[in-house]
A and B are shown apart, each in its own frame.
Chain A
């Protein structure tokens, strides 16, 4: 399945050129969008995604859906990158070392069950 707008965004993250959409008032959002979900502004520009994000919440999932059967247990987190937050799977960091405030970088990995690409967070290299 092709998801125009989303697929290009994921590819850009994989290339280290991730972006978010910004409206004139500075609200951030993720594509595909035709208007700002926060204020309705139609003028959206692509802005570079900050290199480092901060984990705002996370969970270690022990009972997966079938699309993550071969991943469980795995850690899913929401991390803030400037004006946007992203949701991704934490990799290269033991579950007991993930914490609120942990600094991560964002990349793209592969879902071991479905082979689909997905957003992954890794410990940020200082």
Chain B
């Protein structure tokens, strides 16, 4: 099997850019990744592209070819839709394609345009990731679904809103050093606890913002990198995906995310590592409680132990296991269909040393990314390792 290397990464600044087209956002990220990689245009063999709500935001289906054009490429292009895990699954297919030997150079990425819709329309659009018949018609919003999980978690394992507030505070602090993050504003636990309720027990600062943005990653075979003398120190050594029932009501436990456990177990086995080998993690904190569920599914914490990790200082910048040094979805922003590859971009930069927070993890060798769709009915985990 061919090893996969990350030759280049690119991002747009995340934020509110309601006037920018999706194709312009993706072009910026893709061209940045291509420049970072320094690979000849003619060598790109395929584009794997993630997007969730393009039909609703831009009335645009069939985005693959449009985004290949935007990236300046002439190659087959396919769009992947898997809610908030859209770019994660696109990246996973890109990895599989190189591993199989079917291609030596591919581009993976994602884009979401959201702020051209109002908050109400975005709320409605995000809800389509839930089960329409059994959840949306019963008033389940995206924050509401995670609120259902948060209350179930508190009941099963303990923890409270103050524990969750520490996660928001941590991720806002981390984003201060990330030029691409949506927020550059430190917050306090009191700020978080006093923010307006969205769906109790979750309030505004438990939730990620509405974000426009794009991300892109150039993947190459180990052999191609060697032949062309590319500087590509980060490898993708593990890839895993897991699934679960779409609706919370059809799951035995409302405070666990077994799809992510399956994805993590598969990715660890693929990489030949275990959770103890992980030095740094970027996880899908669309809501603060989601970071907790992610840490526990990744095997980094036992069930019930993850909720206090930020408050105890273990997952902060100076902790033993820094989590979401990018600022996470919470403060970096969450352009839904771009998030999976944005996590890979951030992790690549953290490991190779050119991230604003790389100095927090100077000796890190192994990083994991965890990207989730819906209430984690879909989960994708990747293991990235850097040559040291």
Number of B residues whose C-beta is below 8 Å from A? Answer: 36
Q: Which residue of B lies closest to A3 (CB)?
A: B133
Is A29 on the interface with B (CB-CB < 8 A)?
Answer: yes
Kindly list chain A residues whose C-beta atoms are within 8 Å of the C-beta of B155: 57, 100
Kindly list chain A residues whose C-beta atoms are within 8 Å of the C-beta of B139: 61, 64, 68, 71, 74, 76, 89, 118
Q: Which residues of B (118-146) have their CB < 8 Å from a CB of A?
A: 119-121, 123-124, 127, 133-141, 143-144
Is B199 on the interface with A (CB-CB < 8 A)?
Answer: yes
Binds B, one of A11-19, A41-49, A80-88: A80-88
What mask results when residues 39 to 72 of chain A are scored 1 for a CB within 8 Å of chain B, else 0? 0000000000000000011111111111111010
What mask results when residues 103 to 126 of chain A are scored 1 for a CB within 8 Å of chain B, else 0? 000000001000010110000000
Q: Mostly helix, strand, loop or mixed at chain B's interface?
A: helix
Least CB distance from B291 to A in Å reads 18
Is B249 on the interface with A (CB-CB < 8 A)?
Answer: yes
What mask results when residues 98 to 130 of chain B are scored 1 for a CB within 8 Å of chain A, else 0? 000000000000000000000111011001000
Partner of A78, one of B124, B143, B199, B249: B249
Least CB distance from B377 to A in Å reads 12
Is A37 on the interface with B (CB-CB < 8 A)?
Answer: yes
Partner of B198, one of A3, A37, A63, A116: A63
Kindly list chain A residues whose C-beta atoms are within 8 Å of the C-beta of B254: 56-57, 78
**Complex CA distance for A85 and B252, rounded to whole angstroms:** 9
Kindly list chain A residues whose C-beta atoms are within 8 Å of the C-beta of B133: 3, 6
Q: Is B199 in contact with A66, judged by CB distance below 8 angstroms?
A: no
**Complex CA distance for A71 and B135, rounded to whole angstroms:** 16
Partner of A119, one of B138, B245, B250: B138
Least CB distance from B183 to A in Å reads 19
Least CB distance from A107 to B in Å reads 13
**Complex CA distance for A21 and B68, rounded to whole angstroms:** 46
Q: Which residue of A lies closest to B207 (CB)?
A: A63
**Complex CA distance for A74 and B140, rounded to whole angstroms:** 10
Kindly list chain A residues whose C-beta atoms are within 8 Å of the C-beta of B344: none
Is B247 on the interface with A (CB-CB < 8 A)?
Answer: yes
If A56-B152, A61-B144, A118-B138 touch, whether A66 touches B121 (CB-CB below 8 Å) is yes
If A30-B134, A57-B155, A100-B151 touch, whether A65 touches B245 (CB-CB below 8 Å) is no
Least CB distance from B135 to A in Å reads 6
User: Can you list 29 A-B pairs, Cβ within 8 angstroms, ordered by A?
Assistant: A30-B134, A37-B245, A57-B152, A57-B155, A58-B151, A59-B147, A59-B200, A60-B200, A61-B139, A61-B143, A61-B144, A61-B199, A62-B198, A62-B200, A63-B141, A64-B123, A64-B141, A65-B120, A66-B121, A66-B123, A67-B136, A71-B139, A76-B138, A76-B140, A78-B148, A78-B248, A87-B135, A87-B248, A100-B151
> Residues on A close to B: CB < 8 A?
3, 6, 29-30, 37, 56-69, 71, 74, 76, 78, 84-89, 100, 111, 116, 118-119
